A and B are shown apart, each in its own frame.
Chain A
Amino acid sequence: MVDAPSGRSLVVDAVTHRYPSGALAVENINLDIKGGEIIALLGPSGCGKTTLLRIIAGFIAQTQGRIIIGDDIVDALPPNKRAVGIVFQNYALFPHLSISENVAYGLAARGIDKATRQREAQRLLELVQLPAMAERLPRQLSGGQQQRVALARALAIKPSILLLDEPFAALDKNLRLDMQIEVKRLQRVSGITTLIVTHDQEEALSMADRVAVLSHGKLEQFGSPSDVYDRPQTLFVNTFVGSTNRLPGVVVSADRTEAKVRLDAGAEIIARPAGGALSEGGRVTVCIRPEHLQFVGDETGFAGVVGMSLPLGATVVHEVTTADGSGVKVSQARIGETRALENGAAVRLAPLAPSLANAFPATL
């Protein structure tokens, strides 16, 4: 439908950016994005993801490194020559122009005649399912509709790359899901290489083919959503994406694939060395997600006392205090009749499988 020069690749090659004050905004970022992929740049606020987006768009000239779109190094090109479409967090629709003029704006800048512009604007408004809104002003539209217009406006210039800056942050929850599905549909149809900047991990995991996790200007991990969730490479990724329990311990023995860890909570468990090799006797942090912990009946696992149980519908979350005093969350699926746990009941816990417990060298 959108006959765009779509699916151009995007390479972020060793990009470093330093603020005039000397502080590092992003440091040595490498991303190799294939044509037609959806990539999420995920990280907390201040991690440098928006800076990276603005570097790709051309609003900021990076201190070092290159941006390559398709076969072209675009570093010397100003934003208006890069053919990069952007949807801003606040949509940034031109308030004094009608919806149709907004969508046609980029075409007018390219000197396309009025009749063609109007036809193209109408076609794009149909694509985003707002054909009847052409003559209205942006403020007469709801947030979700404004976002569709912003998308149509960005797609109108047939961009080779589409950048979305926190596109769903301002929408309420139900609308957000609708728009996420909508954006994914449009991306499928157009095949445009798309980069979504977000701090919302669910959004990143559900929408993206691959997720780049950033923290303090550094790339922590770049992989598929399941890689990032199930095989995190750093403690930051493990704790930022999804929720996790952090259990301190000491390495008893370790090889490349398995590590035996004595937890401070009082049990020896087998964990996966997630962040590279571990040395014997070294302190580690073992991360186990609430849904990867189970109650065990025998003497295996570590002991704890149930504090509170929160029935959250499909799951029940139990808060357990371990022997060393740290709190652990255990999430159980409600299948059939779940065993009710009394406040103060003594229980024993163990990970479902060794591969679901990730051991990272403890940071001091």
Chain B
Amino acid sequence: MGAAPAARDVTSYGMGLAAPLALFFLVFFVAPLLQLFWLSLHNDTAGLHWGLGQYLHFLTDPFSLGVLGSTLLLGAEVTAVCLVLGFPIAWLYQRVGPKLQTVIILIVLLPLLTSVVVRTFAWIVILGRQGIINATLQSLGLIDTPLKLLYTQFGVVIALAQVQMPLMTLPLITALGRIDPNLDDASCSLGAGSWRTFFRIVLPLSLPGVIAGCTLTYAASITAFITQSLIGGGQMLFMPMYLYQQASTLQNWPFAAAISIIFLLAVLAVVSVFTTLGRMSRGYGGA
């Protein structure tokens, strides 16, 4: 028998290398999550009676559903603002010289380099009753009484959009950079104007970046506890604060756990819609 030497499969890597991270996740992520789920299946705060009471309570309570709805809506609004403001920046980045590119990148990254708390307090200074905007408008004589900007949905959306902007702009810059500049010229030479080129070529080809940016911005803005609470104040309640109140103030741990699970599932649902869209648009990437 001229048996061939035993071939070694070089594509199998030792799973051992992934073990430390896997262990970390198991102890600090999977286990608490399971504990949370277990907790949510109790009808009383003492954890003596099993049941789906907490979920039923949330899903039949108009107030709770309202908080969930306004949180998901907030995410959508912030994402839309980031997309509309971020796309032109990313587009500009691909069309300027290397010096200006450095400046743009610095401006885009700047929010990431300062603490969320600091950035949020800056917005309080800008949006407050005696803040920069109101003071300017009053000194120009455009308004008599200060506008209510702080503690409004508008204020939260604007502040969150600024805080989360890098998460939208960076994927967009990457996606636009991967588009062959000849495609622009080709479209133009075929008689298409700038708008047609943008809507038929640039926008569809940047979809993977748009979807990645939207997913990140959305997920980050609906869970942004600090900015939501400080700018929204006491009048505006979103899911993270609602959760915090139930757990910390009211000590209603099973209900807080149920809120967490429902919130988690809602976020996962939205993210998976984005991911599905991303998969559908994958055909657009690279020639």
- Kindly state the separation between the CA atoms of A65 and B205 in the bound complex, as whole angstroms: 37
Cβ contact of B185, chosen from A79, A82, A85, cutoff 8 A: A79
Task: Given A86-B185, A95-B285, A109-B191, output 16 extra A-B contacts at Cβ < 8 Å.
Answer: A78-B188, A84-B189, A86-B186, A88-B182, A92-B185, A94-B183, A94-B186, A94-B187, A95-B287, A96-B204, A109-B187, A109-B192, A109-B196, A137-B283, A156-B190, A157-B190
Residues of A in contact with B, size category: 20 to 34
Provide the bound-state CA to CA distance between A80 and B201, in Å.
Answer: 15
Q: List 5 A-B contacts (CB under 8 A).
A: A80-B188, A80-B190, A80-B192, A83-B191, A153-B186
A57 touches B189 (CB 8 A): yes
User: CA of A105 to CA of B285 in the docked complex: distance in angstroms?
Assistant: 19
Q: Which residues of A sit under 8 angstroms from B283, Cβ to Cβ? A: 96, 137
How would residues 83 to 127 of chain A score, 1 for a CB under 8 Å from any chain B CB and 0 otherwise?
111101010111110000000011001100000000000000000
Q: Contacts of A88 on B, CB cut-off 8 Å?
A: 182, 185-186
Q: Is the C-beta of A138 less than 8 angstroms from some C-beta in chain B?
A: yes
CA distance A81 to B194 in the complex (A): 12
Residues of A within 8 A of B190 (CB): 80, 85, 105-106, 109, 153-154, 156-157
**Interface residue from A57, A79, A84, A139 paired with B287 (Cβ < 8 Å):** A139
Binding site for B on A (CB under 8 A): 57-59, 78-86, 88, 90, 92-96, 105-106, 109-110, 137-139, 153-154, 156-157
CB-CB < 8 A to B287: which residues of A? Answer: 90, 93, 95, 138-139
Q: B284 contacts A105, CB within 8 Å?
A: no
Chain A nearest CB from B131 CB (Å) reads 44
Query: What chain B residues lie within 8 Å of A105 (beta carbons)?
Result: 187, 190, 192, 200
Residues of A close to B191: CB separation below 8 A: 80-81, 83, 106, 109-110, 157
* Smallest CB gap from B285: residue in A: A95
Most A C-beta atoms less than 10 A away, residue of B190, B200, B201, B283: B190
Of B187, B188, B193, B284, which one neighbours A96 at CB under 8 angstroms? Answer: B284
A157 contact set on B, CB distance < 8 A: 190-191
Contact at B188–A79, with CB atoms within 8 Å?
Answer: yes
Determine whether B286 belongs to the interface, using a CB cutoff of 8 Å to chain A.
Answer: yes
Q: Which residues of B contact A (CB under 8 A)?
A: 180, 182-183, 185-193, 196, 200-201, 204-205, 283-287
Docked complex Cα distance between A154 and B185 (Å)? 12
* Cα–Cα distance between A110 and B186 once the two chains are bound (Å): 15
Residues on the A chain within 8 Å of B201, using CB: 94
Whether B196 lies near A92 (C-beta < 8 A) is: no
Residue of B nearest to A86 (CB): B189
Residue of A nearest to B193 (CB): A80
How many whole Å from B185's CB to the nearest CB in chain A?
Answer: 6
A89's nearest neighbour on chain B, judged by CB, is B182
Instruction: Give the shortest distance, in Å, between B208 (CB) and chain A (any CB).
Output: 11
B192 adjacent to A92 (CB under 8 Å): no
CB distance from B245 to the nearest CB of A (A): 47
- Known contacts A80-B193, A105-B192; decide if A96 and B205 are in contact (CB<8 Å): yes
A90–B185 CB distance below 8 A: no
A85 CA to B186 CA, complexed, in Å: 9
Query: Quick one: closest A residue to B189, CB to CB?
Result: A86
Residues in B with CB closer than 8 Å to A59 are: 185, 188
A92 touches B205 (CB 8 A): no
In the bound complex, how far is the Cα of B190 from the Cα of A90, in angstroms?
Answer: 16
CB contacts (< 8 Å) of B188 on chain A: these are 59, 78-80
| Cβ–Cβ < 8 Å partners of A58 in chain B | 189
Check A95–B189 contact: CB distance below 8 A.
no
* Residue from A58, A83, A105, A156 with most neighbouring chain B CB atoms (10 Å): A105
A81 to B200, CA, bound (A): 18
Flag if A90 contacts B187 (CB, 8 Å): no
Residue of A nearest to B191 (CB): A109
CA distance A154 to B204 in the complex (A): 22
In the complex, the answer to whether A90 meets B189 with C-beta atoms within 8 Å is no
B286 to chain A, nearest CB (A): 7
- A104 → chain B closest CB, angstroms: 10
Determine the distance from Cα of A124 to Cα of B189 in the docked complex, in whole angstroms.
18
Contact A90 B180 (CB under 8 A): yes
Residues of chain A within 8 A (CB-CB) of B187 are 94, 105, 109
Give Cα distance in the complex from A250 to B200, angstroms: 65
Q: Select from chain A the residue with minimum beta-carbon distance to B204.
A: A96
Q: A residues within 8 A CB of B183?
A: 92, 94
Chain B residues lying within 8 Å of A96, measured Cβ to Cβ, are: 204-205, 283-284
Instruction: Determine which of A80, A94, A137, A138 lies in contact with B189 in the assembled complex, contact meaning CB atoms within 8 Å.
Output: A80
Compute how far the CA of A88 lies from the CA of B182 in the bound complex, rounded to whole angstroms.
7
